[in-house]
Chain A
């Protein structure tokens, strides 16, 4: 059984013009000990999905349908009190600007202890302090930093603290939403390496969310690509490195200048994302797709599932007659 099973998840924002369907029928699974990446550009719904899983949605946003099964339990059916038992102990989350949202007037030590005590009530404070020290060691931070305030630490170190916090109760799944986007590339590398090291040591799964597809291809085992609230493609890293299948993923990969290989002009993707209050019929990528077929404008995309992953695209509907090489990225 997979650790996390998302099935036809739908999350919408209530607005005056009608519901804004930020996540419209998203399904994927995450296995134990796996790093699963959710990639996409702004507005595609990846962060909203993460918030939905972690029950962090507020205000006009609400889960409109679908299921979130964690270790067999349907999370959407749990009450807030019941979900609290999962929060941090089994599922924790590292958000994009978390390092900037550390409480500026509390010492690092107190923030770590707070996190531990809040989610495992009944722990002795002295125990929590000891655990805090262990956590700092885990993320390669000197223990004396416990006595410092957040502004005395660099950005990279603060992010390590946040990761330490997320690890406090040894959860099974850690959701990371753009954990390194605001950091310099060398600092980012250090943190990413540390995350992988910790994953190997503790065996947790990671839902890694970013727009940085090359970064994702370096560390994730499987990658899901989202576009306009839906999944375009899910593939293993190897499969995607050999050549993405969905035209959007191909276009996305053509937007990252490379450091090796020939210096060629990249074409990117023309056009812009559709309106998610009144999304187009059929495939949402049709207007920007260089290989659009007539049915793309009316029928929902064909779903092809095989051992390499899943593609939601009409181009893969007729497997025999279809020449995959013609669609492959140049």
Chain B
């Protein structure tokens, strides 16, 4: 029976999905067409400093004479790539570890969780800094790896506990009786039931990756030649932009970060709603 309560939920789910997708598409487009969109080349420092936003400089200039808007556009590519790629790596590792630890009990699970718990004690940011300092160079790949390889811990725990509870469910035993192998059961029976929690974690992990990148850049770790929202913020802070009332230097990168994360959140929630609507909400009397 279709009742009024589910129809709006379906529509709201769709709306969120489309809304989030649009936002991310905009960012993706900007990332791809940086050269076309940015009015001035990267790191071009020939303009007057501290200019307020105008027709020539949509977001003014910074204390080095760079066009803020161009910086923002180039920075979009970095932040977008790092966020998405690190988020993906984290998710893949987190899911693999989590599902395996949840499905196979006894020593596999215990060993994995021991490692995770050990690493979780150390603050992730500190770990990243330490890891980064060991690397010879901090290119984009390095940053993605540093963030990706250390963020999966929480996710693994979360996925593992959900897997543990799914494992007890009747359909797992029914799948065994039907003759399915362990691997098959994990991937084809249990994993689809984990989509909601994976999605929730994916959103969280990706937004954290973007913020982690911003944080690392802010702290000065990372490629100094690279431009990202974090580096813009770092420079703005280092040059006391606040004292100069240069809001056009501070607000845009922060806003861009927030908007980017929001896009992911919308997609996450939207997918979740549509997923639940299809699987559980519709009932026939």
Find the B residue at minimum CB distance from A272.
B285
Is B285 in contact with A15, judged by CB distance below 8 angstroms?
no
Assess whether B169 is interfacial by the CB under 8 Å rule.
no
Q: Which of B32-50 contact A (CB under 8 A)?
A: none
Interface string of A249-278 (1 = CB under 8 A from B): 000000000000000000000000111110
Find the A residue at minimum CB distance from B2.
A17
Q: How far is the CA of A39 from the CA of B4 in the complex (A)?
A: 33
Assess whether B54 is interfacial by the CB under 8 Å rule.
no
Total inter-chain residue pairs, C-beta < 8 Å = 13
Assess whether A321 is interfacial by the CB under 8 Å rule.
no
Chain B min CB distance to A19 (Å): 12
Q: How far is the CA of A184 from the CA of B285 in the complex (A)?
A: 31
Contact of B1 among A273, A274, A275 (CB under 8 A): A275
Which chain B residues border A273 with CB–CB below 8 Å?
285
Which chain A residues border B4 with CB–CB below 8 Å?
16-17
**Chain B's interface: helix, strand, loop or mixed, by majority?**
loop
Q: How far is the CA of A276 from the CA of B5 in the complex (A)?
A: 17
Assess whether B165 is interfacial by the CB under 8 Å rule.
no
Contact of B5 among A16, A274, A275, A277 (CB under 8 A): A16
Which chain A residues border B285 with CB–CB below 8 Å?
273-276
Q: Which of A261-307 contact B (CB under 8 A)?
A: 273-277
Find the A residue at minimum CB distance from B6.
A16
Which chain B residues border A277 with CB–CB below 8 Å?
1
Q: Which of B150-187 contact A (CB under 8 A)?
A: none
Q: How far is the CA of A276 from the CA of B1 in the complex (A)?
A: 12
Which chain B residues border A274 with CB–CB below 8 Å?
285
Chain B min CB distance to A59 (Å): 15
How many residues in A have their beta carbons less than 8 Å from beta carbons of B? 8
Find the B residue at minimum CB distance from A17.
B3
Chain B min CB distance to A191 (Å): 30
Q: How far is the CA of A320 from the CA of B81 in the complex (A)?
A: 87
Q: How far is the CA of A15 from the CA of B285 in the complex (A)?
A: 14
Which chain A residues border B3 with CB–CB below 8 Å?
15-17
Find the A residue at minimum CB distance from B284.
A275
Q: Which of A1-57 contact B (CB under 8 A)?
A: 15-17
Which chain A residues border B1 with CB–CB below 8 Å?
17, 275, 277
Which chain B residues border A275 with CB–CB below 8 Å?
1, 285
Chain B min CB distance to A94 (Å): 30
Q: How far is the CA of A155 from the CA of B212 in the complex (A)?
A: 55
Chain B min CB distance to A290 (Å): 23
Find the B residue at minimum CB distance from A276.
B285
Chain B min CB distance to A14 (Å): 12
Chain B min CB distance to A322 (Å): 33
Question: Which residue, of B1, B4, B5, B285, has the highest number of chain A Cβ atoms within 10 A?
Answer: B285
Q: How far is the CA of A129 from the CA of B201 in the complex (A)?
A: 54
Chain B min CB distance to A137 (Å): 41
Q: How far is the CA of A17 from the CA of B285 in the complex (A)?
A: 13
Interface string of B1-19 (1 = CB under 8 A from A): 1011100000000000000
Which chain B residues border A15 with CB–CB below 8 Å?
3
Find the B residue at minimum CB distance from A43.
B285
Chain B min CB distance to A218 (Å): 33
Which chain B residues border A17 with CB–CB below 8 Å?
1, 3-4
Which chain B residues border A276 with CB–CB below 8 Å?
285
Chain B min CB distance to A229 (Å): 13
Chain B min CB distance to A228 (Å): 11
Chain B min CB distance to A277 (Å): 8
Find the B residue at minimum CB distance from A275.
B285
Q: How far is the CA of A275 from the CA of B5 in the complex (A)?
A: 17
Q: How far is the CA of A275 from the CA of B1 in the complex (A)?
A: 9
Q: How far is the CA of A274 from the CA of B4 in the complex (A)?
A: 20
Chain A min CB distance to B136 (Å): 60
Q: How far is the CA of A130 from the CA of B4 in the complex (A)?
A: 56
Chain A min CB distance to B176 (Å): 28
Chain A min CB distance to B24 (Å): 33
Which chain A residues border B5 with CB–CB below 8 Å?
16
Q: How far is the CA of A273 from the CA of B284 in the complex (A)?
A: 12
Q: How far is the CA of A199 from the CA of B1 in the complex (A)?
A: 45
Interface string of B261-285 (1 = CB under 8 A from A): 0000000000000000000000001
Q: Which of A165-193 contact B (CB under 8 A)?
A: none
Q: How far is the CA of A59 from the CA of B122 in the complex (A)?
A: 47
Chain B min CB distance to A29 (Å): 32
Q: How far is the CA of A276 from the CA of B285 in the complex (A)?
A: 9
Question: Which residue, of A16, A274, A275, has the highest number of chain B Cβ atoms within 10 A?
Answer: A16
Chain A min CB distance to B251 (Å): 43
Chain A min CB distance to B277 (Å): 14
Find the A residue at minimum CB distance from B285.
A275
Interface string of A54-72 (1 = CB under 8 A from B): 0000000000000000000
Q: How far is the CA of A292 from the CA of B5 in the complex (A)?
A: 36
Q: How far is the CA of A17 from the CA of B283 in the complex (A)?
A: 13
Q: How far is the CA of A16 from the CA of B4 in the complex (A)?
A: 6
Find the A residue at minimum CB distance from B8.
A16
Q: How far is the CA of A277 from the CA of B285 in the complex (A)?
A: 10
Interface of B with A (CB < 8 Å)?
1, 3-5, 285
Interface of A with B (CB < 8 Å)?
15-17, 273-277
| Apart from A16-B3, A277-B1: 7 A-B pairs, beta carbons within 8 A | A15-B3, A16-B4, A17-B1, A17-B3, A273-B285, A275-B285, A276-B285
Listed by A's residue number, 13 A-B pairs whose Cβ atoms lie within 8 Å are A15-B3, A16-B3, A16-B4, A16-B5, A17-B1, A17-B3, A17-B4, A273-B285, A274-B285, A275-B1, A275-B285, A276-B285, A277-B1
The 7 closest A-B pairs by CB, nearest first: A16-B4, A16-B5, A17-B3, A275-B285, A16-B3, A17-B4, A15-B3
